[in-house]
Each structure stands twice: as structure tokens, then as C-alpha cells.
Amino acid sequence: MMNKHITRYAVTFSAALSAFALPACDKGFKDLNVNPDAVSAPVPAYVFTKALYDGGGYNGHYGSSMGDFFLMGTMQYTTSYNDVAGFGSKYVSSQISQSSAPFSAAYPDEINELGIIIKAVKNDPSKVNLLAAARIWRVYCFSKLTDLYGDVPYFKAGLGYDSSLYKPAYDAQKDIYPNLLSELDAAAQSLDGSKTTFGNADLIYGGKTDQWKKFAYSLMLRLGMRLTKVDIAAAQSWVTKAIAGGVITQDADIAKIAYADGGQDINKNPLMLDMWNADYIRQDGVSNPEGGKYQQKFVDSLKAHKDPRLPIISVVYTAPKTTDTSFALQKGMPDNISNAIPGNFGTYSEPNPKTVLLLGSPRLVFTVAETNFLLTEAALRGWYSGATAAVGFEAGIRAAMRHWSIIAGSAGMINQQAIDDYVSAHQLNTAVSFNEQMRQIYTEFWVSIFPDAQEVYNNYRRTGYPALTPNNYGGNATGGQIFRRCLYPVIEKNLNTVNYNAAVSRQGADDLMTHIWWDK
């Protein structure tokens, strides 16, 4: 009987509570469920800063910087005795999925973030500079992506939140490139120095519209030159338009992302953070967790050419926390060591912690050196008359030497006499064939753009230089050849099957040796 009364009371109380609560829901329940710390609309400046960090490579080993990380091995800057960490230099079959990391990171991060910004500002004429900067950075991010994979989702990418489009079609690279170039042209022309900018939220130029314009046209120069193997007329048209628009030729205009040696990891130089944590954090030369060192080809080349950058970027540890930068002592590790630490591991060179590995150093996105080497090629092709190829080549070398002081301050300063001596010994020989002059330009590009491995990789595929000898390592996935593209993530094959299959049918097998459109 007692249980019966309790049950009847509970039901009666529940009904009364319901009758009391229902009208109150309409008046207050909705407000109680609003997060006071959330925002109902994006703040473009905040999102833009994050997009710069993400596009510049933050995300650790699983993000955008992974492309630069393993491509340093592919372009024979670094290697490892460990097959897992050494994928880039060894192309080991069991590790090929590493190449999908940049794709997996780009879409949920910078591509999505830039779409949010563009949607928020595109209809406000007073925010034209915000729109232009976002468009230019979007071109930079998409160009890195398509240059690694070829056909990628582009025109319908980043519309999951906007239009519930979760399975975007892949677009042909031959259609992506003209749009990238047109976007740069339109964005550059729309910049207006009298209107508002991202200001301090802009980690590259602090909102300076004249410098964003130079960056846009410099990217146009880079991407226009990418077309030389597939559409020489379009390449010439875009390259000459870029030069006329005004490209980066002064150190003050270099596109670089500022980082800090402290705070959260997102504030630190992403590639250096990866390298530091993977191998060099113990600073003793022998306890490198992933077995990484400079590769023999790179160090041998610097030594053979008496390059004054070698003691700036390279050290050998003689004791814990004690480094030696002596030119003669530097030695690169062979790329064919198999899963066992060599007995002389400590004698091999690795990146200098006072220059290369600085967590607070800027990431150079587009440099004066790159501009000058591209202008050298343009002059060689008869597309540029502002300087001879020989003059442009020398300017590229001198700029590259200066870049180390921009990265590392006084620790990266190279003696002027040493620079003059190197330049004197490395003049462009214009009396030889076009192909031989291209070899000189892009071999020098290789040592000058370090550690920007992806841009070296792009020009290697386009020009064939530097003339690297592939590593025919046991169990490699490429038949002993340097791979030509990266692989799409497996999740794309499983969840975006129709569009993935269409891309593979059009471009070729989802294979490391399939050539992308401009790499013919």
C-alpha cells in the first residue's frame, strides 16, 4: 500500500511539474542553453590568423608540415636509418600512407577557414582587402595541395558547413591552374590601400596592401612558370603579367610568417618544431629518436662547392650540447642504411640548433632568392629584359646568402668576402646550351631555397634539376625512382568513392609514379 501511494504521488508530481515547466521553456530555456563564451558569427581576423598558421604548416607530423618534412628526404637534404622516418628518402612501400597527410590536414583546416572568411566579407566593399588577402592565401594553400596530388576538390571544396556538400568532386589540375592564376590577378588588382585590413592579425605583412600585391604577383610568377611543360604560351603570358605587376625583389617584401619561441606550439615554427621533436631535442648527436641526419648528397655538394652556408646550417656534436661547425668536419649520412644505428652515427652532420632549428624563426614563404632564380629563367627564355640571366643568377645567390641572417640574426650572418668569393666561382655560364643553364639555375636553387623542400620538389619535377640520383632502397614503392606525386587518403576512396574513382580514371592510377598534369 505504501508503494502504491508513492507511485501515485510521483505521477501526480511529475504531471504538475510538466504543467509548470512547459510554459517556462518558451521564456527561458533557450537562453539557458546559449554558450556565453561562443560567438554566433565568425570574426574574420581571428580565423585569418589561424588560416595563416595552418597554411604555413602547423599541425605537427599529422598536418601540412608533414609534406615539407618527408620531402626534405626526397630532395636529399636529410635521411634516416629508420625506415619509418626515412620514407621520404627511401620511398618504403610500407610507409606510403604518410604522403596523404597534407591532403587530410588541408581541407578541415586552412581551406575550410578561408572559405569562412570569404563568405563573411565578400559582400562588404569596405572589406575588400580582407577578401583579397584571403583569396591570395587560398591560392597559395591550394597550389601546394594540387602540386602534391594533381586533381583535387577545388571548385566545390569547403562547402560542408555552407551547403552540406560532404563529397565534393575532384577537379582536373588543368582547370584548377587557370583559376588560381586568375584569382591572383583579380585579388591583386582589388587591393585598396585606403581601406581596412587585417592589421596585426596578418602575420605576414601586418595588413600592408602594397606587399600583398607583390606576393600575389610573385605567386603568379611561380605558378606561371609551372606551365612551361604543358602550355608554353600560357606560361609566357602569366610570367610577363606577373613581372609587369611587380614581384618581390627586396628583402623587406619577403613573404614570411612570424613565429615565437614560446607559448603554445601553434606559435612556433612548424617545420622546426617537427624536426626538433623528431630528432634533435637531446642535442647530443647520438640519441636522435628517429635517426635523422643530413644526407650525404647535400653535404657533399656544399663541400665540393666550398659553400659558406655549410658551417651556418650544419653541426657535428663533439659532446652533449657541444657543437662543431668546422667545414672539414661536416659529413652527410648515406641514404641506404637499413634499420640499424650505424656505429659512427655521431660523426654525421645535422641541422644547426642556432640557425636552422630556431623555434622562433620566421618561415620564409616567398623569397627574393626564388624571385631572382625565376627571373633568371624568364630572361633565359626571352620573357624578361630587366636584367640578363647572369645578373639575375648572381642576385639569386646573394639574396639566398642574406636570407640566413633574416632567419637567424647574427648567427646566420655570412661574411661578405665569403659571399663574394662564392659568387665569383659560380657565375652562370651563358655560353652553354639552354638545358645546361637550367641545370646551373636549379641546382643553385636547390641549395638556396633549403629548407623549402616542396618548392624544390616542384621545380625538380618540372626541370629535372637538381640531377639527384634516386635511392633504389630494398622494399621501395617506386622501382627505385623518385616519386612524382603523393597518394590520396584511403578515407577518400572509402567515403568519396564516386568522385575519387572519377579522378583516378581521368588522371591515372593513385600511384606514387603517376605524373600530374603539369609534370609531363
Domain coordinates of the chain in residue numbers? 44-261+362-507
Enumerate the β-bridge partners of residue 294: 78
With residue 67 as reference, give the H or E element that holds it: helix 65-74
Q: Please state, in angstroms and as integers, the Cα–Cα distance from residue 426 to each residue in 39, 313, 432, following that order.
A: 57, 20, 14
Distance of CA 512 to the CA centre of its chain: 19
- The Cα–Cα gap between 265 and 65 comes to 13
Read off the DSSP letter of residue 319.
E
- The Cα–Cα gap between 461 and 497 comes to 29
CATH class of 44-261+362-507: mainly alpha
pLDDT by residue for the chain (520 residues), tens digit each?
A: 333 333 333 333 333 333 334 444 555 555 656 666 666 688 999 999 999 999 998 443 334 456 788 999 999 999 999 999 999 999 999 999 999 999 999 999 999 999 999 999 999 999 999 999 999 999 999 999 999 999 999 999 988 877 888 999 999 999 999 999 999 999 999 999 999 999 999 999 999 999 999 999 999 999 999 999 999 999 999 999 999 999 999 999 999 999 999 999 989 999 999 999 999 999 999 999 999 999 999 999 999 999 999 999 999 999 999 999 999 999 999 999 999 999 999 999 999 999 999 999 999 999 999 999 999 999 999 999 999 999 999 999 999 999 999 999 999 999 999 999 999 999 999 999 999 999 999 999 999 999 999 999 999 999 999 999 999 999 999 999 999 999 999 999 999 999 999 999 999 999 999 999 999 8
Tell me the DSSP string of 90-141. Answer: H-BGGGGGGGGHHHHHHIIIIIHHHHHHHHHHTT-GGGHHHHHHHHHHHHHH
> For residue 33, what is its C-alpha cell?
542553453
Question: Measuring CA to CA, which residue among 83, 71, 89 is closest to residue 334?
Answer: 89
Read off the DSSP letter of residue 340.
S
